[in-house]
Structures are given as structure tokens and as C-alpha cells.
Amino acid sequence: MKKYVLLIACALLGLAACLSFNKFAVYEAGNWEGSGTGYNGLIRVVVETDASSIIDINVLEHNEDMLVGGEAIRDLKELVLETDSTDIDAISGATQTCEGFIYAVDNALSKARIKK
């Protein structure tokens, strides 16, 4: 009985190690620039990554309305950093700004992703 418990524990540990290893092979560490089109034009960002996650996002340029689009960009930045993903919902009332920002971040991340 102890052999089976030990065997299962080893198998689960090995599986967990494989899953963790794959997470570390996502990005090249660095700063990556990307752009997208918002409601009022170009949105430019620099996304900082380490090997496994998004560390920071700096908005270099945007022409969005500060009350609606600017707030949406700030909120989206926090959501992307919290979830480590751009798979997030748009903010109501600022759909084009959200789409442009997410596209800009995805554009930067496409440069950071390790090609296998």
C-alpha cells in the first residue's frame, strides 16, 4: 500500500514540476513596445516581462479622453497586471479604448513570447 501512495505522490510531483516548468518558458525578459488604435487614435505601451509574467505596463502615448478613456486605461492596466493576462472584459462606455489598449499590450507580448 505504501508503494502505491509513494508512486502516486511521485507522479503528482512530476506533473506539477512539468506544469511549473512550462510557465517559466513563456517570455523573454525585457521591455517590449506595442501599439493599438483606441477611440481617438494611437495607444502606445511598453510592457515589461520576466520569464513567466507581465511585470509592468507603461503607457507612452494615447489621445483618449482623460475622464473616460484615461480611467479605462488605468483600470485595464491594473487588471492585466493582477491577472497576468489580456483575456479581460472591456469597460462599459470605453470599448474602443479598451480594445486598443489590449491590442497594444498583446502586440508587445507577441514580441516577448519565446518561439518554440
Cβ neighbours for 100, distance < 8 A, ≥ 6 positions apart: 36, 37, 38, 39, 43
Which tops the pLDDT comparison, 50 or 5? 50
Helices (DSSP H) in 25-115: which residue ranges? 71-83, 95-112
pTM above 0.85, yes or no: no
Q: Which of 61-65, 73-77, 104-108, 112-116 has the lowest mean pLDDT?
A: 112-116
Per residue in 21-45, is it b (16+ CB within 10 Å) or e — as a string? eeeeebbeeeebebbbebbeeebbb
Residues 38-87 have pLDDT tens digits of 999 999 999 999 999 999 999 999 999 999 999 999 999 999 999 999 99
For the chain, give the longest Cα–Cα distance: 67
d(CA 49, CA 32): 8
Q: How many residues does the chain have?
A: 116
Q: Which three cell numbers stand for residue 26?
A: 513563456
d(CA 25, CA 16): 15
Q: What is the pLDDT of residue 13?
A: 47
Rounded mean pLDDT of the chain?
Answer: 85
Q: Is the predicted pLDDT of residue 90 greater than 70, yes or no?
A: yes
